[in-house]
Every structure is written in structure tokens, then in C-alpha cells.
Structure 1
Amino acid sequence: MDSWVRFSAQSQAKDRLFRAAQYACTLLGYTLLKGGANRDLLSKVKLLESHLSLARKLLRLGNSADALEAAKRAVHLSDSVLRFCITVAHLNRAMYFACDNVLWAGRTGLLSGLDQDKWGQRSFRYYLFALILSLTRDAYEISLLMERESRGTGASWKTPSRGLCSPAQENGEALVGAASEPPCLLAPLPTHLRRRLLLLAAVLRGNPPLALDLLKNLLDIFIPLDRLGLYRTGPGFVGACGLASSVLSILTMVYPWLKLKP
């Protein structure tokens, strides 16, 4: 299994690049279709997207083993919520990659009688469950950090983000020369909610890996929701979300400190 894990680690960078290219083709195909491009060009873009998808499935042959190893490591986490969310998320990813491998065998002709629609739906269900658990983990970590910040002696969370509120505006005070102050975007909200949003912004600003992981998971979740028919957004939106989340994933590989741990 160790050899498979090493192979998976080497192929992940290529998979992220192929994924970005695949969703770029999805977005390009939608843009060309809306722009009235000729059918020959559209068919070439769709064919390239199909080849990229098939190549990604080949690169994922070792990812199930990698996900299982990650699940084994997560079992030993001390926090019960993190242990459950991370372990089960990795197990769902392992099943998702296994279904992807079966689909690859079906598309290459190794399993000629395979019901690809059925296995594709099964694959996206595992993917959706993994993303839901990952988002639950993100929300849990955010809540812990917000509670820690609110109880801490520092008041860094009260420092407003540009374009939200100035300190006086956040406290509801009137200032001489207030016309020079930028408008407070959160002013219509109740004071308690406004403070919570400022605290959330401060926590995410101070924890780039968590903010990046949250954004990436939020972008990714629209893909299985669309493919499973639970929330239709269209190929253009799916392509844009997939491309953006792929770029964020590549960033975590180029700059490992941006990867959320554990």
C-alpha cells in the first residue's frame, strides 16, 4: 500500500492541473455555445474535456489507498468531532475514487457491460457526502476559533475590515466629519449579528488555510449537486466553480502552509 500512496502523491499535482483544464473546457464550451460558435469547434472542446476527464481517472488509480491511509491517521485525533468528520470524509473519498476507477475501466472497454450512469451517480453521491463532512469540519473549527477569540484578552476581532464599519460606526457612535467615513455595509444589521460577522471575518482573515479550505469546499459542492440533479446550476456555473476550486487546490500544493491540517 505504501507504494500506491507514493504513486498517488506524485500524481496529485498532475490531477489538479488536468482538473483545472477540464473545467476550463466546460466553461469554454458553455461560453462558445452562448456565443453561437460553430458545431465543429464545440465538438472539439467537448472531446478535449472528455479526454481530460478520462486521463484524470487514470491518475486517480492510487488515490483510494491514499484516502484510506489518511482515514487511519485521522482515527487517532483527540477531538471527537474532528475525528468523526475527517475520518468519514476520507472514507467517502476512498469510495468516490474507487467508483471513479470502475468508471475508467468502463470507458476504456475493460468492463464493457458497465452501467456508467449508475456508477457515475454513485460516485457523485460519495463525493457530495465527503464535501458535506468537510464543510461541517470547517464550520466546527470556525466556531471554536470564534469562541476562543471572543473570550481572549486581545481585541483584534474588533478591528473592522475595510468597507464594513469603522470603530465608531461599529459601536453606533456619531463622529464629527462623519461624511468622510465610508458607509458601513453592516449598519442595517442588528448589533449582535454585526459583531458576529466582524468576528467571523477576523477569524478567517487570521487563518488563511481554513478560509481557503472553506471557499474551496463551497465551490466544489455545486458540482455534485448539479450532477445529481439536486440543485441545477448549469455547465457554465459548474465550470467556473470547478476551475476556481482547482486553482485554489494548486495553490495549496505550491504553498503547503496553505493546506488545512490535520
Structure 2
Amino acid sequence: MESWVRFSAQSQAKERVFRAAQYACTLLGYTLQKNGASPDFLARIKQLEAHLSLGRKLFRLGNSADALEAAKRAIHLSDMVLRFCITVSHLNRAMYFACDNILWAGKSGLVPHMDQEKWSQRSFRYYLFSLIMNLSRDAYEIRLLAEREANGKSQKGGRGDAVGGGGSFSGEDGRLQQLALRLKLQLQLLARVLRNNPPLLLDVAKNACDLFIPLDKLGIYKTGPGFVGLCGLTSSVLSILAIVHPWLKLKP
């Protein structure tokens, strides 16, 4: 198991590069189609995209074991919310990769009569739930850091600064102004938290981009191949960035 996990870790960077190239082809194909490219050239782009997708699946053959090992580590976290979100996310990733491996066997011809559409839908459902857990974890981390930031600022600046100078509001217009001020302060706090925590910012951006892919594939929220290609390419580049610079990977 450990040797397989090490092999999976070595393949991860290559898989991310293939993923970036695949979604770049998706985006390129959509752009060329909009600009009236020839059907023959578009067919070649589609074929290249399919080959890249199949190559990615080969690199991910060991990722189920990697995800299960990560789930075993996460179950010992002291924070109950993080323990739940991260463990459930890794378990769903393990199921997603397992379905993806079965789909690879079908597309490569090893299991010729397999229902590829059914396994693809199963795969994307597990992928979607994993991303929901990841975003829930991100939201929880943001809340903890925002509370810490707000408490630290209120202790330094006094209570009046914490509520925006202690201005008085009256009437309907006053309540709207107070609501607008609170919203502005919350957005400023959110921006400060994300700016001071690049790994969290990168993880939020990556998960938010990835979320549109299963939503589109499952028909829950159709966005079109161009937007899916852009989101997939962006999240892939962010993932490669986290691999190249490990300090950008969100921990635990």
C-alpha cells in the first residue's frame, strides 16, 4: 500500500499537466468553433482532448489508495468539523477515483460492454460531494480566521473602531446605511483574511472553479464547454502551483 501511495504521489504532477492540457483543448475547441473553424480541425482537437483524458485516468490508477490513506490520517484530527469535512471529502475522492478507474477500463477496451455513461455519472456525483466538503472546510477555516482577526483588531483599536467608529443611525435610511457598513466591514475582513493566508485563498479558488465541472456534467447547472474548459484550466494551473510550491498547499 505504501509503495503504491508513493507511486501515486509521483504521478500527481504529471496528471495535473495532462488535466491542464485537456481543459485547454476544451476551451480552444469552443473558441475555434465560435470563430468558424473547420469541422476537421475541431475533430482533431476533440480527439486530442479524449486522448489526454484517457492518459489522465491512467495516472490516477493509484489515487484511491492515496485518498484512503489521507482519510485515515484525517480521522485523528482534534477539530471535529475539520475531521468530518476532510475525512468525508477523502472518502468521496476514493470512490470517485475508483469509478474513474472502472471508466478507464471501459474506455481502453478492457471491459468493452460497460455502461460508460452510468459510471461517468457516478464518478461526477462523488466528485461533486467531495468538492462540497472541501468548500465547507474552506468556509469553516475562513470563519475561524475572521473571528480571530476581528477579536485581535477590536482589542487593539477599541470597541468603537470595531463597529466602524460608533456612528449613530436612525430611521429606514439609517438602518440601510448600517447594513451597508456591516457588509463593507465583513467584505474587508474576508479580503484581509484571504490576503494573509495564500494557501486558503488558493484552495477556495481551486475548489470554486472545480465545482462548475460536475455541476455541468450532471446537468445540475449547465454552463457550456467554454466555461468548463476555463474553470478546469484555471484549477489545474492552481494545483500545479501548489505542487511546485508545497507551502501553498492547505494543511492539514
TM over 0.5: yes
Question: Which SS does the other structure have where 1:110 is aligned?
Answer: coil
Q: What is the alpha-carbon distance in structure 1 between the residues aligned to residue 58 and residue 244 of structure 2?
A: 23
Tell me the alpha carbon deviations over residues 174-218 of structure 1, each in whole angstroms, 9 at most, x when there is no partner: xxxxxxxxxxxxx99611111111111100000000010001000
The reply on whether 1:75 has 2:75 as its aligned counterpart is yes
The reply on whether 1:237 has 2:247 as its aligned counterpart is no
Q: What is the alpha-carbon distance in structure 1 between the residues aligned to residue 27 and residue 251 of structure 2?
A: 31
Question: Which SS does the other structure have where 2:77 is aligned?
Answer: coil
Q: What is the alpha-carbon distance in structure 2 between the residues aligned to residue 171 and residue 48 of structure 1?
A: 59
Matches for 1:14-163 after TM superposition, within 5 Å: 14-153=14-153
* Aligned residue number for residue 253 of structure 1: 243
Q: Which amino acid aligns with 2:151?
A: R
Aligned mate of 2:218, from 215, 218, 228: 228
- 1:171 is displaced (CA, Å) by 5.6
RMSD between superposed Cα atoms in Å: 1.9
* Structure 2 CA distance for partners of 1:188 and 1:223, relative to 1, 3 Å: farther
Tell me the alpha carbon deviations over residues 114-146 of structure 1, each in whole angstroms, 9 at most, x when there is no partner: 100000000000000000000000000000001
* Structure 2 CA distance for partners of 1:28 and 1:171, relative to 1, 3 Å: farther
Q: What is the alpha-carbon distance in structure 2 between the residues aligned to residue 156 and residue 137 of structure 1?
A: 29
* Aligned residue number for residue 205 of structure 1: 195
Tell me the alpha carbon deviations over residues 76-119 of structure 1, each in whole angstroms, 9 at most, x when there is no partner: 00000000000000000000000000000001111111100000
* Structure 2 CA distance for partners of 1:62 and 1:198, relative to 1, 3 Å: same
Tell me the alpha carbon deviations over residues 53-73 of structure 1, each in whole angstroms, 9 at most, x when there is no partner: 000000000000000000000
Question: Which SS does the other structure have where 2:60 is aligned?
Answer: helix
Matches for 1:157-196 after TM superposition, within 5 Å: 190-196=180-186
- What runs of 5+ residues in structure 2 fail to find an aligned partner? 168-176
Structure 1 runs (4+) deviating above 4 angstroms are: 153-157, 170-173
* Structure 2 CA distance for partners of 1:45 and 1:11, relative to 1, 3 Å: same
- 1:225 is displaced (CA, Å) by 0.1
* Structure 2 CA distance for partners of 1:29 and 1:188, relative to 1, 3 Å: farther
Question: Which SS does the other structure have where 1:248 is aligned?
Answer: helix
Aligned mate of 2:208, from 213, 218, 221: 218
* Structure 2 CA distance for partners of 1:156 and 1:119, relative to 1, 3 Å: farther
Q: What is the alpha-carbon distance in structure 2 between the residues aligned to residue 111 and residue 151 of structure 1?
A: 58
Q: What is the alpha-carbon distance in structure 2 between the residues aligned to residue 172 and residue 232 of structure 1?
A: 46
TM-score (norm. length: structure 1): 0.87
* Structure 2 CA distance for partners of 1:116 and 1:196, relative to 1, 3 Å: same
Question: Which SS does the other structure have where 2:32 is aligned?
Answer: helix
* Aligned residue number for residue 164 of structure 1: none
Q: What is the alpha-carbon distance in structure 1 between the residues aligned to residue 97 and residue 43 of structure 2?
A: 28
- 1:156 is displaced (CA, Å) by 9.4
Aligned length: 238
Higher helix proportion: 2
Question: Which SS does the other structure have where 1:152 is aligned?
Answer: helix
Given that 1:225 and 1:231 are in contact with CA atoms closer than 8 Å, whether structure 2 keeps it comes out as yes
